[in-house]
């Protein structure tokens, strides 16, 4: 894999129009599902066996962003990177970890065993089709523990391919100063909302953001280094008596730049695009 592929993913271009316009030098689609059988053979050869698996989720993102926000954003980055440094991009994949939000409308939470089995079957099938360097590009914070564990389990059985995991990029070199608190700029906050304003501005509804508070609820205080699975709900949720009013949105998108100046998103998406390109080191 060439180092430039990772550089390409992190160097995500800032224009939505550009994202929708494939490079004139590329006659082969980077979309796996758009290739014919004959084209697929040529695509794998051109990519030198490097394939991207953008990994998202279906869950609530406040009231102002779509359920598939993580998937939409990570695919935007991966597809643009692949257009700059050719790689084959696997179709929409959202079969990750989201147990903490399964009570929210529209959330799809698969069982632990199915998540791991499906991901293993998927990478096995990708490899059987010629993808010998598989870069899982993560777009969902709930997968931060799942994916490194999956990559490590590949050592249990011999494979003729390698799995790489590219983590979430939250900041980019030279980015402008945050308008919200970077310490709590996480789920559906300023950075993520900025990215959505680049990737799918038609789905961002900033006017709805003030209807829910994204403040850290701080209901669980653990000693440093101690972890428990409910930590996210404890920060993002708000419980009133027996009623659960789960906000599930730390961060403050209301402080986000206007649609005409999502400068923060441009920097972050460039960083993510470059990282995905760097992940292909050794191609």
pLDDT at 5: 60
Q: How far apart are CA 9 and CA 219, in angstroms?
A: 37
Are 217 and 237 in contact, with CB atoms under 8 Å apart?
yes
Q: How far apart are CA 276 and CA 274, in angstroms?
A: 5
What residues pair up with 164 in beta bridges, in sequence order? 135
Are 99 and 113 in contact, with CB atoms under 8 Å apart?
no
pTM of the entire structure?
0.78
Per-residue pLDDT for the chain (283 aa), expressed as one digit of tens each? 555 666 556 544 333 333 444 444 448 999 999 999 999 999 999 999 999 999 999 999 989 999 999 999 999 999 999 999 999 999 999 999 999 888 899 999 999 999 999 999 999 999 999 999 999 999 999 999 999 999 999 999 999 999 999 998 766 777 778 777 777 777 888 888 888 999 999 999 988 887 877 677 777 888 888 888 877 677 764 322 223 334 445 455 544 444 333 454 555 556 565 666 665 545 5
Give start and end residues of each alpha helix (H) in the chain. Answer: 3-10, 16-19, 37-47, 69-84, 112-128, 146-153, 190-199, 231-236, 263-278
């Amino acid at each position: 894999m060439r180092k430039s592929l990772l550089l390409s993913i992190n160097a995500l271009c800032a224009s939505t129009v550009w994202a929708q316009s494939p490079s004139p030098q590329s006659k082969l689609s980077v979309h796996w599902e758009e290739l014919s059988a004959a084209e697929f053979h040529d695509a794998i050869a051109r990519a030198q066996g490097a394939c991207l698996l953008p990994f998202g989720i279906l869950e609530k993102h406040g009231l102002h962003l779509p359920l598939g926000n993580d998937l939409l954003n990570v695919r935007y980055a991966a597809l643009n990177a692949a257009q700059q440094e050719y790689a084959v991009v696997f179709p929409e994949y959202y079969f990750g970890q989201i147990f903490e939000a399964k009570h929210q409308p529209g959330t799809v939470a698969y069982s632990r065993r199915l998540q791991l089995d499906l991901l293993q079957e998927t990478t096995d099938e990708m490899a059987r089709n010629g993808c010998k360097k598989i870069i899982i590009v993560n777009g969902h914070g709930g997968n931060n523990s799942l994916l490194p564990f999956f990559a490590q389990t590949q050592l249990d059985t011999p494979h003729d391919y390698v799995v790489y995991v590219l983590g979430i990029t939250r900041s980019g070199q030279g980015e402008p100063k945050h308008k919200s608190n970077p310490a709590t700029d996480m789920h559906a906050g300023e950075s993520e909302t900025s990215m959505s304003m680049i990737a799918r501005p038609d789905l961002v509804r900033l006017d709805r953001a003030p209807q829910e508070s994204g403040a850290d609820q701080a209901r669980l205080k653990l000693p440093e280094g101690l972890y428990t699975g409910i930590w996210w709900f404890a920060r993002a949720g708000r419980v009133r008596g027996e009623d659960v009013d789960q906000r599930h949105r730390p961060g403050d998108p209301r402080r986000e730049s206007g649609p005409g100046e999502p400068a923060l998103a441009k920097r972050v998406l460039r960083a993510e695009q470059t990282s995905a390109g760097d992940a292909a080191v050794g191609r």
